[in-house]
Amino acid sequence: MNLSTRYMGIDLKNPVVASASSQTYTLEGVRRLSMGGVGAIVMHSLFEEELLADAEQRARLLEVGSESFPESLSYFPDPLPSKRAQQYLELLERAVATAEVPVIASLNGATPGGWTAHAREMEDAGAAAIELNIHMVPVGPGIDGRRVEELHVEILQQVKAAVHVPVAVKLSPFFSSVAQMASRLDAAGADAVVLFSRFPHPRIDPESLEVIPGVDLSSPVESRLPQTWVALLHGHLQAAIGASGGVEGVEDVVSYLLAGADVVMTTSALLRHGPEYAGSLAEGLALWMSRKGFDALDQVRGLLAVPQGNDAATWQRAQYVDTLRVANANWQGPW
Amino acid sequence: MRVTVDGNEAAASVAYRLNEVCCIYPITPASPMAELADQWSSRDGMNIWGSVPTVIEMQSEAGAAGAMHGALQGGALSTTFTASQGLLLMIPNMYKIAGELTSTVFHVAARSLAAQALSIFGDHSDVMAARQTGFAMLASASVQEAHDLAVIAQRATLEARVPFIHFFDGFRVSHELNTIETLSDDDLQALIPVELVQAHRSRSMSPENPFIRGTSQNPDVYFQAREAVNPYYAATPGIVSEAMDRFAERTGRRYRLVEYVGHPEAERVVVAMGSAAITLRETVANLSANGERVGVLIIRLYRPFPAEDVVEALPASVRSIAVLDRTKEPGSFGEPLFLDLLGAIAEAYQHGEVGVMPLMIGGRYGLSSKEFTPAMAAGIFAELARDQPRRRFTVGINDDVTGTSLPYDTSFDIEPADTVRAVFFGLGSDGTVGANKNTIKIIGAEADMFAQGYFVYDSKKSGSETVSHLRFGRHPIHAPYLITEASFVGCHRFEFLSRAEVLGTAGHGATLLLNAPYPADQVWQMLPRRVQGQLIDKQIQLFVIDAGAIATEVGLGGRVNTVLQTCFFMLSGLMDQERAIEQVKAFIRKSYARRGERVVTANLAAVERAQQELRSVQIPQEVTSTIEVPSLVPASAPEFVRKVVAKMMAGDGDELPVSAMPADGTWPVGTTAFEKRNVSDIVASWDPEACIQCGNCSFVCPHSVIRSKYYSTSRLGEAPVGFKSAPLRAKGLPGTSYTLQVYEEDCTGCALCVEACPITVPGGQGRRAINLAPKGEEMDAERSAVAFFESLPAMKRSRIDFATVRGTQFLEPLFEFSGACSGCGETPYLKLLSQLFGERAVIANATGCSSIYGGNLPTTPWTKDATGHGPAWSNSLFEDNAEFGLGFRLAADQHAKLARERVQRLRSELGPDLVDAILGAPQRTESELQDQRERLDELKRRLEKLDNPIAQDLSSVVDHLRRRSVWIVGGDGWAYDIGSGGVDHILASGRDVNILVLDTEVYSNTGGQMSKATPLGAVAKFAAAGKTAEKKDLALQAMAYGSVYVARVAIGADPQQTLQAFREAEAYEGPSLVIAYSHCIAHGIDMRKGLDQQYRAVASGYWPLVRYDPMMRAMGENPFLLDSPRPRLAFADYAQRELRYSMLASSDPAEAARLAGLAQEAVDQRWATYEEMATRPAHRFPTDGRRDRV
């Protein structure tokens, strides 16, 4: 079965893509992913914010107690420049050389200059594409939603102007109009949109009275939201669509493809079952296709997307009402 | 090229580029030279021959000198940077190096020697103690000279083959920033002929051309061989002179071996070496412009002494000469430079080379960086004009004991009016010094401007205050002394006005920039009377700004430096204002770029806000304030404290006369109790309801500001309002109350107590039973609470449970309120020592942090209890501390033996029962020791009544009948490195001493240099790329003897184990070694998390808690106890929270990962070894030979 496909103009042997995770922290991890059967690898993100926080903390600790006592005007040797960004780039370069599949770099910038500079460096290091992880959580009540949207577009435009490789934008689901946001990014030149990034919600532990950082792996039910939006956006964008979230088994991969995704990304499943699981997913997909009589992905992709020209909102509302009715029928309390 | 650098950098930049090997050991004030060399080397900086010099840190200066000697014999151009005791330790090798005619230059930041006390400051005691070694000596007087003479010395030594000491005044030159012209690599190459370098190499040891050096010579030839070097020494002055000529040709800067400056027909001449010569030269210019026939003779080459040049340089008209020495040789006929001059001129006179023998006098000045000012210089010329000048004199102090000191007119001022003189009072932590250094660099970089900066730091490490002295002008600045008539004063903290004499340095019409947390129109009424008076009298212009508020607003926290720096540029008129602001901003962008955009933006915002918020305050005609400057010490303080210590605390120690000083370095204990420093606005606050009275907080408090007592509840009737109390949580003591008293005025707000508190108040949002809270407004109420607490009776020691942390909180600390860093990891151990054993302890303290916060004047923390007993403490040196402490033991044992013999002889007179009880007393437990104390009190009463010589003799040693606790205390720099041989020897001696190693794993006091205790993978100075050798396992080494009690402890991980180890160590009759994990500012941690890091060090298995008790072995048990549980954290989970480890992860992630892997491996291996030891049968441990005797 031919599972090959194109994503942002890049040829992939199959549509299962390893999304950004700790698996790419080491070259060995990258190698295993590559051997495990994925179609492409998205590296973990370079977090400029972290680099800056690291530099800031370093500077702060260096200053503690300095210039106070005549015998010890400092406590550390003059620090050598930080190589943390360089470390990422070196790993990326070696990953590109090692992996037999395309390697996409992921960038989470923090400053206007940082986005473009790091993107250029990633391109130079051989990244097949760059995924912008614009992870902006507008927690403050004073932050204007429109401004958040503009920032996404501005960052994309700057990076596009800076590099020649394709650029994807990973979106959060928290926009008033996800579709419009995707369209604006599309118009601004995005080569792909990835739906969606996960916001690690913290959890409250009532026993210890503590807030526990949310680092749980995703579960299949989480695929519903991205799947819905993939279905709605399919056919409306020039940009490719990457689907991300809640992939556990073959059926989840298939569902995303049916909804219209160009590629299906997974982290949790690979973390749970190991990198080789990507191969199983691809094989399962091939089996399903042959069972269902498809012989190319194009025949599958978007089969269950919202039909073009239809009133998508009506379609969705109808689905929603159905869903609610079913829920009310099935979930009754003990009273 | 013009740069603004300090003397250390000026000298090191030349020395580094002209050498191949640097063997060093850290010592103030020379350390920065070595650190710079290491920094350049680690960044592959090259010498002028294109190779990267090797920089190696040794275990002591003696080691550095030995390695140097070897490197030189190996043919490498080698140097060292040192000072003071360090130079003394090099002396044996210096004789060898000189005796073998070996070319080298030692660069020395000249410093005082430890005599009646240690001093880190500058004078010539050290170099003068090396003048007989055969080294030539070249003295630089300024930052520029330190740069220039460094190369002149190098050229001369290569040509003459005589080794050189190139020295300059410690701190005054080594740490003064000044604008200089630098020497390029081309300049250096032009001045150092490569043939000389090759000739040096050709003399090296080589198996291809073998010869023997270091022979042993006998009466037949040693003498002649010693004389064989004479021609080399005779040629040296000429060679130096020639080098100076070549230098002048190349650079236009002209130096002479001996330089005369002044009136061509001078009658009075002063001779000096070092920075004082600059002051004299400027003073002479001023005096001779007014027609006085005076001059100064500047000595640059001191050895070989250029007698002919001296005689030639002096004008024939000279009738009287004063020779100044910056050293003291008690008992000598005169100090060395004076004697040399006197001899040279007398001899020349005898031979008719000078027509008239001038009157010659010799004086001392400037010991330990004592100021030497133009006023003092003028005073010396005035003395020379007298008919009968003093033959020997001192200047700069008031010697009211032997009358040596000269009077002088303190108002004499020669500084050019167009020099901007600015003095800034700041806190170490507020960035004032850093900002001033930036200001100097900004202004020094302007084409037509010159800048100078000198910084006076605190004697305390917490809440330290700094005073910056900055000069700016259109001409090079030659003023190596502090500013006395400032045109600008910056007071960066409002409270300073009540504590320090801020306006004492302000000149008439000066500008005062005051950081005030009040609106401009309210500032006047908040000023103390004294300050208002000074503002009016001196017609000072007052400008104010609330820098703290702006810094907070823009997100800089407490860093007020940028705000105030901007104000300085606006007010000083030094540069066009727009350009100045532009430059400040450019500097911010450059120097803060590394820290990220946020910090840059915040600082830029601070510049803007400062410009908007600076306000001028109109000074009224009359003083209106009723606020008096409070007295620094209470009226109830002892006379010595009021009259002497208080003056030093106020910064007026310079005014104290000689008669106020103890002649032998003996000072009273317990003086920190009188210095209420109020360094923190937030302090510990006790919650009596929540507290379970466990004592953990007081156990870990580094500053002894948390104390506990229990007492009859009836006493509370007398308690002042606000005195906190709770019912005692203990069975069997009804009607008893408990108080945990916080000494708020001494608290540094370090929060270790909060971290140590086991209680989390339910629903209290993280509140503990002790918390940090803003200091109360009512200091008087706080003081009465403390006074009442102190009036409550102390617990009887025999009734306290010494075995538990809970019990020890009731023991009075006899180590209190030290000036150690806030949250210090060492001091809790010392406090515990003082609580447990202080009333019968003698302590030998190695030089280092603990000797500084333990013994740095004006006030010291070791104290005594109400009965007058307490630790007797002394610091000898850095290298000899173990031996020093052993000496205490030897004396104590000897006198105990003597006392036992004497008391036995007086058995019948003194009462057989009492004598037998005394001689037979077991003295292990506290109650036994207390019983013995009571018996001895009775014995002393009986002795008083006896009138016989044996009784008198017994009285002089009777205290030794109570077991004395000898403690040998120091840091890892001492125990692992410089004092390692001594520690080892004392451990092997079998004597009853206790060694406490406060292990910070780095040289903390001198600023973070690597020691052999520095762990694998950590970054330190001299290990910038991460240390690649594993930390020495001192515990295991000591255990190998079998006769040493050994413990490794960490108070933050297991306080109970710490307590147990201290008690066992002390009770053990033999040598004990306690190695104590001491978190430190030099680890690069948030000091609040110090205890947590200790916990992690132990939980990761990096710092296994162990005890090794030879008594157990003697009883047939396994003596090795592994007290900490199996590792349950990865080493990285401990290490990566500290900058010393994480720094490498930033700069070289791959190497950091490699070293972290090795470190984890080492942890695992050590743990496996320990676990095996813990299960070994007793017979596989060594036997203690002292106990095995039948």
* CATH code of the domain covering residue B469: 3.40.920.10
User: Distances in Å between the alpha carbon of B599 and those of B588, B593, B1142?
Assistant: 9, 8, 21
Q: How far is B682 from chain A (nearest CA, A)?
A: 18
**Hey, which bits of B1065-1139 come out as E strands?**
1072-1077, 1106-1108, 1120-1122
CATH code for the domain of B797: 3.30.70.20
Q: Is B1005 a catalytic residue?
A: yes
How far apart are the C-alpha atoms of A275 and A265, rounded to whole Å?
Answer: 13
- Does A153 contact chain B (CB < 8 Å)? no
CA proximity to B863, closest of B1033, B589, B669, B1006: B669
B470: part of which helix (H) or strand (E)? strand B465-473
User: Distances in Å between the alpha carbon of A114 and those of A60, B167, B198, B881?
Assistant: 22, 49, 52, 54
Give residue for tokens 């080397």.
Answer: B41
pLDDT in tens, B585-643: 998 988 887 777 778 889 999 999 999 999 999 999 999 999 998 888 999 999 999 99
B673 and B783, same domain (yes or no): yes
For residue B1190, pLDDT over 50 is answered with no
ipTM of the complex: 0.93
Q: Which amino acid is at A66?
A: S
B935 and B1016, same domain (yes or no): no
Contact A45, A69 (CB under 8 A): no
Contact B117, B59 (CB under 8 A): no
Does the distance separating the beta carbons of A84 and B32 come in below 8 Å?
no
As to burial, measured by CB atoms within 10 angstroms (0-12 exposed, 13-18 middle, 19+ buried), residue A100 is exposed
For residue B1188, pLDDT over 80 is answered with no
Does the distance separating the beta carbons of A59 and B1143 come in below 8 Å?
no
Does the distance separating the beta carbons of B595 and A59 come in below 8 Å?
yes
Q: Give domain status of residue B876, yes or no.
A: no
Contact A175, A225 (CB under 8 A): no
How far apart are the C-alpha atoms of B833 and A213, rounded to whole Å?
Answer: 43
Encode chain A in three state secondary structure: CCCCEEECCEEECCCEEECCCHHHCCHHHHHHHHHHCCCEEEEEEEEHHHHHHHHHHHHHHHHCCCCCECCECCCCCCCCCCCHHHHHHHHHHHHHHHCCCCEEEEEECCCHHHHHHHHHHHHHCCCCEEEEECCCCCCCCCCCHHHHHHHHHHHHHHHHHHCCCCEEEEECCCCCCHHHHHHHHHHCCCCEEEECCCCCCCEEECCCCEEECCCCCCCHHHHHHHHHHHHHHCCCCCCEEEEECCCCCHHHHHHHHHHCCCEEEECHHHHHHCCCHHHHHHHHHHHHHHHHCCCCHHHHCCCCCCCCCCCHHHHHHHHHHHHHHHHHHHCCCCC
What does the pLDDT read at residue A167?
97
Task: Tell me the average pLDDT across A165-173.
Answer: 93
- The sign one gets for the Cα dihedral B544, B550, B551, B557 is positive
Which 380-439 residues of chain B touch chain A by CB within 8 A? Answer: 428-429, 431, 433-434
What is the pLDDT confidence band of residue A217, given thresholds at 50, 70 and 90? confident
Please give the radius of gyration of chain B, using alpha carbons only, rounded to the nearest integer. 32
How far apart are the C-alpha atoms of A6 and B80, rounded to whole Å?
Answer: 66
Contact B1101, B1171 (CB under 8 A): no
Which among A70, A76, A87 is the nearest to B1143, CB-wise? A76
Contact A21, A14 (CB under 8 A): no
- Does B1005 contact chain A (CB < 8 Å)? yes
- Does A56 contact chain B (CB < 8 Å)? yes
CA proximity to A197, closest of A118, A136, A117, A142: A136
Q: Give domain status of residue B29, yes or no.
A: yes
Which of these three, B609, B625, B644, is where a domain ends? Answer: B609
- Does B464 contact chain A (CB < 8 Å)? yes
What does the pLDDT read at residue A102?
96
CATH code for the domain of A261: 3.20.20.70
DSSP B815: B
Q: Give domain status of residue A324, yes or no.
A: no
How far apart are the C-alpha atoms of B1121 and B162, rounded to whole Å?
Answer: 58
- Indicate the number of domains in chain B: 6
Q: Give domain status of residue A43, yes or no.
A: yes
- Does A61 contact chain B (CB < 8 Å)? yes
Q: Give domain status of residue A137, yes or no.
A: yes
What does the pLDDT read at residue A318?
61
**Quick one: tokens of B1036?**
């295991």
Q: Facing residues of B997 across strands?
A: B970, B1075
Chain B contact set for A67 (CB, 8 A): 428, 431, 433-434, 455, 466
Counting residues of chain A whose pLDDT is more than 90, the rounded percentage is 53
Q: How far is A211 from chain B (nearest CA, A)?
A: 12
- Indicate the number of domains in chain A: 1
Counting residues of chain B whose pLDDT is more than 90, the rounded percentage is 91
Average pLDDT over chain B, rounded to an integer: 95
Lowest-pLDDT choice from B389-393, B601-605, B1160-1164: B601-605
CA proximity to B1124, closest of B1138, B1103, B1140: B1103
How far apart are the C-alpha atoms of B1109 and B1072, rounded to whole Å?
Answer: 9
Task: Tell me the average pLDDT across B409-433.
Answer: 92
How far apart are the C-alpha atoms of B101 and B412, rounded to whole Å?
Answer: 48
Which among B429, B460, B1007 is the nearest to A73, CB-wise? B1007
For residue B752, pLDDT over 70 is answered with yes
B1011 and B1150, same domain (yes or no): yes
User: Distances in Å between the alpha carbon of B328 and those of B117, B124, B272, B362?
Assistant: 14, 9, 15, 11
> Higher model confidence: residue B1003 or residue A147?
B1003
User: Distances in Å between the alpha carbon of A247 and those of A16, A44, A244, A254, B401?
Assistant: 10, 18, 7, 10, 91
Contact B441, B401 (CB under 8 A): no
What does the pLDDT read at residue B1189?
54
How far apart are the C-alpha atoms of B938 and B940, rounded to whole Å?
Answer: 5
What does the pLDDT read at residue A94?
95
Which 1007-1046 residues of chain B touch chain A by CB within 8 A? Answer: 1007-1008, 1019-1024
Q: Give domain status of residue A318, yes or no.
A: no
Give residue for tokens 């973070």.
Answer: B1008
Task: Tell me the average pLDDT across A95-101.
Answer: 94
Q: Give domain status of residue B216, yes or no.
A: no
pLDDT in tens, B919-930: 999 998 889 999
Chain B contact set for A87 (CB, 8 A): 1149-1150
**Interface test with chain A among B457, B1011, B1151, by most A beta carbons within 10 Å:** B457
How far apart are the C-alpha atoms of B442 and B435, rounded to whole Å?
Answer: 10
For residue A328, pLDDT over 80 is answered with no
Does the distance separating the beta carbons of B42 and A59 come in below 8 Å?
no
Q: Is B948 a catalytic residue?
A: no
- Does A71 contact chain B (CB < 8 Å)? yes
Structural domain span for residue A245: 5-308
Lowest-pLDDT choice from A173-177, B4-8, B696-700: A173-177
Chain B contact set for A52 (CB, 8 A): 596-598
How far apart are the C-alpha atoms of A220 and A226, rounded to whole Å?
Answer: 11
Q: Give domain status of residue A226, yes or no.
A: yes
Cα angle vertex B735, ends B731, B740, to 5°? 80
Structural domain span for residue B1142: 1000-1180
User: Distances in Å between the alpha carbon of B504 and those of B279, B418, B428, B510, B540?
Assistant: 22, 21, 21, 11, 12
Chain A contact set for B1082 (CB, 8 A): 65, 72, 75-76
> If you write DSSP's letter for every residue of B537-580 in order, what string do you get?
HTT-EEEEE-HHHHHHHHT-TT--HHHHHHHHHHHH-SS-HHHH
B451: part of which helix (H) or strand (E)? strand B450-456
Please give the radius of gyration of chain A, using alpha carbons only, rounded to the nearest integer. 22
B950-B955-B956-B961 Cα dihedral, nearest 10 degrees: 110
Does the distance separating the beta carbons of B458 and A75 come in below 8 Å?
no
- Name the strands in the sheet holding B136-139, side by side, starting at the edge strand that comes first in the sequence: B54-57, B21-24, B78-82, B105-110, B164-169, B136-139, B301-303
**Cβ-based contacts under 8 A for chains A and B:** 134
Which among A52, A73, A83 is the nearest to B1146, CB-wise? A83
Does the distance separating the beta carbons of A71 and B852 come in below 8 Å?
yes
Task: Tell me the average pLDDT across A96-125.
Answer: 89
Q: In a 3-state reduction of DSSP, which class is residue B1020? A: strand
Which among B175, B457, B1139 is the nearest to A61, CB-wise? B1139
DSSP B3: E
Q: Which residues contact B100 (CB under 8 A, 6 or more apart)?
A: B73, B213, B214
Does the distance separating the beta carbons of B428 and A68 come in below 8 Å?
yes
Q: Give domain status of residue B654, yes or no.
A: no
Q: Give domain status of residue B534, yes or no.
A: yes
Q: Give domain status of residue B844, yes or no.
A: no
Which among B32, B1007, B1022 is the nearest to A75, CB-wise? B1007
How far apart are the C-alpha atoms of A159 and B1001, rounded to whole Å?
Answer: 47
Strands B682-686 vs B770-774: parallel, antiparallel or unpaired: antiparallel
Q: Which amino acid is at B44?
A: D
CATH code for the domain of B1096: 3.40.50.970
Q: Give domain status of residue A94, yes or no.
A: yes
User: Percentages helix, strand, coil for chain B, rounded to the nearest 5?
Assistant: 45, 15, 40
Q: Give domain status of residue B75, yes or no.
A: yes
Q: Is B111 a catalytic residue?
A: yes
Task: Tell me the average pLDDT across B219-245.
Answer: 98
What does the pLDDT read at residue A320?
61
Q: Is B561 a catalytic residue?
A: no
Q: How far is A33 from chain B (nearest CA, A)?
A: 22
User: Distances in Å between the alpha carbon of B369 and those of A216, B11, B131, B515, B876?
Assistant: 64, 20, 20, 30, 22
Chain A contact set for B1004 (CB, 8 A): 72, 75
B245 and B261, same domain (yes or no): no
What does the pLDDT read at residue B592?
82
Q: Which amino acid is at B412?
A: F
Which among A65, A78, A87 is the nearest to B1149, CB-wise? A87
What does the pLDDT read at residue A137?
67
What does the pLDDT read at residue A315?
67
Task: Tell me the average pLDDT across B801-828.
Answer: 96
For A264, phi then psi, to 5°, come to -120, 125
CB-CB neighbours of A237 under 10 Å: 18
**Quick one: tokens of A205?**
């532990």
Task: Tell me the average pLDDT across A4-28.
Answer: 92
- The sign one gets for the Cα dihedral B708, B714, B716, B719 is negative
Task: Tell me the average pLDDT across B480-507.
Answer: 93
Q: Give domain status of residue A319, yes or no.
A: no
**Quick one: tokens of B143?**
């930052």
Which among B457, B594, B1008 is the nearest to A59, CB-wise? B594
CA proximity to B276, closest of B341, B339, B359, B363: B363
Annotated catalytic residue within B4, B8, B19, B28: B28
B353 and B465, same domain (yes or no): no
B425 and B469, same domain (yes or no): yes
Chain B contact set for A68 (CB, 8 A): 428-429, 433, 457-458, 461, 464, 466
Does the distance separating the beta carbons of A81 and B464 come in below 8 Å?
no
Q: Give domain status of residue B846, yes or no.
A: no
Strands B78-82 vs B136-139: parallel, antiparallel or unpaired: unpaired
Q: Give domain status of residue A331, yes or no.
A: no
B1008 and B937, same domain (yes or no): no
